[in-house]
Structure 1
Amino acid sequence: MTINSLYIFDRHCICVYYQDWHRTRRPKPAAEGGLLPGVSQAVSPGTSAGPSSGFDSPRNTLASSSGTVVAINEHTNPQLSIPMAPTGVTSTGLAFDEEAKLVYGVVLSLRNMIKKISGRDEQFTSYRTSSYKLHLFETPSGYKFVMLTDQKSEMMRSVLKQIYLVGFLEFVVRNPLIKMDSREQGIDNDNFRSAVDRYVRGLPNYN
């Protein structure tokens, strides 16, 4: 199982957090003014396109135009000893703020389509193409956790839910320094990023 990247969007459709693990093609830094501060240092405006740490090592995101939708009916930084990203990383040619909009657009479009076709009790939880699989978990407050993996991975909704319950609630919601729904600042902080990284790397099939 290859886990590529994690995006978190708030209820205003704004990307407030980004983290990746196995990307061979990274996005360009966001355009000036195109990304909130506090989302990810790896993709902030002015960030170097050189190799980064394991936290920030961007893999291919939306690379296929065809796929199948799977719907399931379900009611700054201290120095950290993290492996460096692999060499030979190339660019997608797309700025991160544009990439985030595309990811959210896919989620919104497919979710709306499923509700119209199958009814409101049916939930969009994953989408698979020939090269990647997108997984979605939405919190009661409207935050959307989106993870991209290889196309053969199992359902990751439980993983996203655990990231929400263990990391997000503890280091974001209960953090007095984080302004939720501010529309001015992301939710990135060292404790949350470290907790997510440890959990993801500790998954049985992580590679």
Structure 2
Amino acid sequence: MFEIFAFTHVHNGSLPKSSMTIYSLYIYDRHCACVYYHDWHRTRRPKPAVEGGILPAVSQAVLAPVAESNPSTLAPYSSPRNTLTSASGVVVAVNEFNAQSTASPLLQAPPSPVGVSSTGLAFDEEVKLVYGVVFSLRNMVKKLSGRDEQFVSYRTSAYKLHLFETLSGYKFIMLSDPGTESLRFVLRQIYVGPFLEYVVRNPLINMDSKEYGVDNEYFRASVDRMIRGSSFFP
């Protein structure tokens, strides 16, 4: 049993004073592909994706295993595209990784925390399920309530899903604990801030390439800093 919330406008309500738990963030492009993943407080991690199941650079934590015999595949990402200085829009460098390069901590696969188990589900299957739920509920809301209604979240006994969709078709999805109020404003801040600055305005990132995820270290670091620095982050 779960609740579905549909609003005709964005509600900018205040957050509760108690801390809230944010589990994970997914970003999907208009081709329905997951291009970015980040987690903070997951108690059950997904298994790595199968080879070819996800785009490169989505997340090191769920990257498909690579063959040990091929050193060229051991690079964290093929091209992180750290190309824009903060708030300037100036192209400064193209940071191409090779087999001998050292990745930053955010681009490396994080160690599994003690007590964190696996969901038993491969990450490529997980992102399909998350997108499928959102797609189905969006269609249901539109059919039952009309085109003026907008699906923004739903809640189960274990988690709450928050959705922010851009005019260009990108979907920002965040999972949190079920007692959390709306986090659409957080997803919008990620979009109008780091996403526009480091992804959309980056001339070296092809938004519709279907070949890479959001392979930009500045974007990942900025999102992580924004969430961890927020007043609602425990």
> Of 40, 43, 57, which aligns to 2:59?
40
C-alpha deviation, 1:84, in angstroms:
6.7
Counterpart position of 1:20:
39
Find the structure with the greater CA-based Rg.
2
> Of 146, 152, 155, which aligns to 2:179?
152
Show CA shifts across 1:113-160 (max 9, x none): 000000001000001000100000001100000000000011000000
> Of 67, 78, 85, which aligns to 2:104?
78
Q: Does 1:110 align with 2:137?
A: yes
Counterpart position of 1:166:
193
* Alpha-carbon separation, structure 2, partners of 1:185 and 1:79: 20
Counterpart position of 2:25:
6
Q: 1:196 to 1:134 in 2, by over 3 A?
A: same
* Alpha-carbon separation, structure 2, partners of 1:163 and 1:192: 9
* Alpha-carbon separation, structure 1, partners of 2:26 and 2:123: 11
Counterpart position of 2:17:
none
C-alpha deviation, 1:78, in angstroms:
2.0
Counterpart position of 1:30:
49
Task: Report the 3-state secondary structure (helix = DSSP H, G, I; strand = E; otherwise coil) of the residue aligned with 1:183.
Answer: coil
Which 5+ residue runs of structure 2 have no aligned equivalent? Answer: 1-19, 67-96, 98-102
Which 5+ residue runs of structure 1 have no aligned equivalent? Answer: 48-75
* Alpha-carbon separation, structure 2, partners of 1:188 and 1:166: 17
* Alpha-carbon separation, structure 2, partners of 1:79 and 1:21: 14
Counterpart position of 1:184:
211
The count of residues paired between Structure 1 and Structure 2 equals: 178
* Alpha-carbon separation, structure 1, partners of 2:197 and 2:172: 16
* Alpha-carbon separation, structure 2, partners of 1:105 and 1:164: 22
C-alpha deviation, 1:203, in angstroms:
1.4
C-alpha deviation, 1:191, in angstroms:
0.2
Residue type of the alignment partner of 1:78: S
Residue type of the alignment partner of 2:104: P
Q: Runs of 4+ in structure 1 displaced over 6 angstroms?
A: none
Task: Report the 3-state secondary structure (helix = DSSP H, G, I; strand = E; otherwise coil) of the residue aligned with 1:26.
Answer: strand
**In terms of mean alpha carbon deviation, does 172-181 or 109-118 score higher?**
172-181
Counterpart position of 1:123:
150
Task: Report the 3-state secondary structure (helix = DSSP H, G, I; strand = E; otherwise coil) of the residue aligned with 2:196.
Answer: helix
* Alpha-carbon separation, structure 1, partners of 2:39 and 2:203: 26
